[in-house]
């Protein structure tokens, strides 16, 4: 099975190092995102991407061997955007419960995906490829690790080695509800967003007490939220 790590490594081989190449690479992803927001997957080809980007087909093939590799690269870029938003600590107002913290972060995540139709299709659509699905799983696992550290920064938690795994499972349950919403409405409706959060919270109540005391935020704890800065994850 091709994993997102394998696919990322494959794409890295063709990632440009010079500014002009980086700009063209991102331009191709920008164009693909726009095309995905307006067309069915089967209507998007490398030739159409090249035409929309106003580059030669050879320029597209230089970076991407096939259409799915463009979709995977776009999914990985979405992962990075979603992660950068996920690690932002809620400050105004600060959450007073772990349930409120999840509510705040889930609402922001739904708003982001609804604002990016291509992200909705890539992560919640019915025809998702194995590579894109694995990229989504990898992104969710990274968010779960940072979310565990966020909870530890805000609340007085006993050492909980499995917290990240519980958060990852709860996010998978939420994603299932979001996929249902996308299939029925073409977006994550507020009703389904709340239902998804309720599923996540209900699952986590198996392990977390209903009330966790708040503790003062420290710069050290906030700095630990970004797991990408920590090689140990």
User: Are residue 125 and residue 224 in the same domain, yes or no?
Assistant: yes
* 92 shares a domain with 11: no
Asked whether the bond before 93 is cis by omega within 30 degrees of 0, the reply is yes
Q: Over the stretch 72-106, which tens digit does the pLDDT of each residue have?
A: 999 999 999 999 999 999 988 999 999 999 999 99
Q: Which of 43, 69, 95 is the last residue of a domain?
A: 69
CATH number at residue 48: 1.10.10.60
Domain boundary among 69, 92, 123: 69
Q: Please state the three-class secondary structure of 157-226 as a single string.
A: CCCCCCHHHHHHHHHHHHHHHHHHHHHHHCCCCHHHHHHHHHHHHHHHCCCCCCCCCECCCCHHHHHCCC
- Please state, in angstroms and rounded to a whole number, the distance separating the CA atoms of residues 60 and 56: 7
Domains in the chain, number: 2
* Shared domain check, 197 and 123: yes
Checking if the pLDDT of 109 tops 60, the result is yes
Residue 213 is part of which domain span?
74-229
Instruction: Say how far apart CA 172 and CA 178 lie, in whole Å.
Output: 10
Domain check: are 26 and 122 in the same one? no
Among 18, 47, 69, the domain-final residue is 69
pLDDT band at 9 (very low <50, low <70, confident <90, very high): very low
Is 121 in the same domain as 223? yes
Q: Are residues 137 and 166 in the same domain?
A: yes
* In a shared domain, residues 126 and 190: yes
What average pLDDT does this structure show over 173-197? 97
Residues 97, 145 share a domain: yes
Length of the chain: 233
Confidence of residue 233 (pLDDT cuts 50, 70, 90): low
């Amino acid at each position: 099975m091709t994993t997102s790590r394998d696919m990322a490594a494959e794409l890295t081989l063709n990632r440009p190092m010079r500014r002009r190449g980086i700009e063209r690479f991102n331009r191709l992803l920008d164009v693909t995102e726009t095309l995905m927001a307006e067309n069915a997957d089967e209507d998007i080809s490398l030739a159409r991407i090249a035409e929309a980007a106003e580059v030669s087909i050879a320029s597209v093939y230089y970076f991407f061997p096939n259409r799915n590799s463009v979709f995977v690269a776009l999914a990985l870029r979405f992962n990075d955007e979603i992660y950068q938003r996920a690690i932002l600590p809620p400050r105004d107002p600060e959450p007073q419960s772990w349930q409120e913290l999840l509510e705040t972060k889930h609402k922001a995540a739904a708003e982001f995906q609804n604002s990016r139709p291509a992200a909705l299709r890539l992560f919640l659509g019915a025809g998702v490829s194995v590579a894109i699905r694995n990229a989504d799983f990898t992104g969710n696992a990274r968010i779960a690790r940072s979310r565990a550290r966020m909870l530890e920064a805000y609340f007085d938690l006993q050492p909980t080695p499995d917290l990240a795994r519980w958060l990852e499972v709860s996010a998978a349950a939420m994603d299932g509800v979001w996929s249902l919403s996308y299939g029925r409405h073409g977006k994550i409706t507020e009703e389904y967003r709340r239902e998804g959060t309720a599923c996540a919270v209900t699952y986590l109540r198996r392990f977390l007490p209903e009330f966790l005391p708040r503790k003062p935020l420290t710069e050290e704890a906030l700095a630990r939220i970004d797991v990408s800065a920590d090689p140990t994850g």
